[in-house]
Amino acid sequence: MSSPVGLTEFAGPLRVATRRVLLSNQAMNRTTFLVDGFNVYHLARSASVDLGGQATKWLDLRSLLTSYLPIIGAGSALEEIYYFSALATHLDPYRPGVTFRHRTYLEALRSTGVIPVMGRFKPKTVHCRRCRTDSKHYEEKETDVAISVKICELFTLDNADTIVLVTGDTDLAPAVRTAVRLFPSKQVCFAFPYKRKNKELAQLVSKSFLIRKERYAAHQFPSDVRLPSGRMIRKPIDW
Strands 120-128 and 133-141, bridge-based pairing: antiparallel
Write down the pLDDT at residue 4: 36
Q: Under a CB-based contact definition with an 8 Å cutoff, are residues 74 and 23 in contact? A: yes
Phi then psi for 85, rounded to 5 degrees?
-160, -170
Domain that holds residue 215: 4-234
pTM summary value: 0.81
∠229-146-127 over CA atoms, to 5°?
115
Q: Is the pLDDT of residue 32 over 50?
A: yes
Q: Which of 9-18, 211-220, 230-239 has the lowest mean pLDDT?
A: 9-18
Q: What would the pLDDT profile of 154-180 be if each residue is shown by its tens digit?
A: 999 999 999 999 999 999 999 999 999
DSSP assigned state of 163: E
Distances (CA, A) of 145 to 119, 142, 149, 173: 10, 5, 6, 12
Q: Is the pLDDT of residue 125 over 90?
A: no
Write down the pLDDT at residue 122: 55
Q: What would the pLDDT profile of 127-148 be if each residue is shown by its tens digit?
A: 566 776 655 554 666 788 999 9
For residue 91, tell me if it sits in a domain.
yes
For residue 239, tell me if it sits in a domain.
no
For residue 105, tell me if it sits in a domain.
yes
CATH number of the domain at 77, please.
3.40.50.1010
State how many domains the chain has: 1
For residue 39, tell me if it sits in a domain.
yes
Q: What would the pLDDT profile of 104-120 be if each residue is shown by its tens digit?
A: 999 999 999 999 998 85
For residue 48, tell me if it sits in a domain.
yes
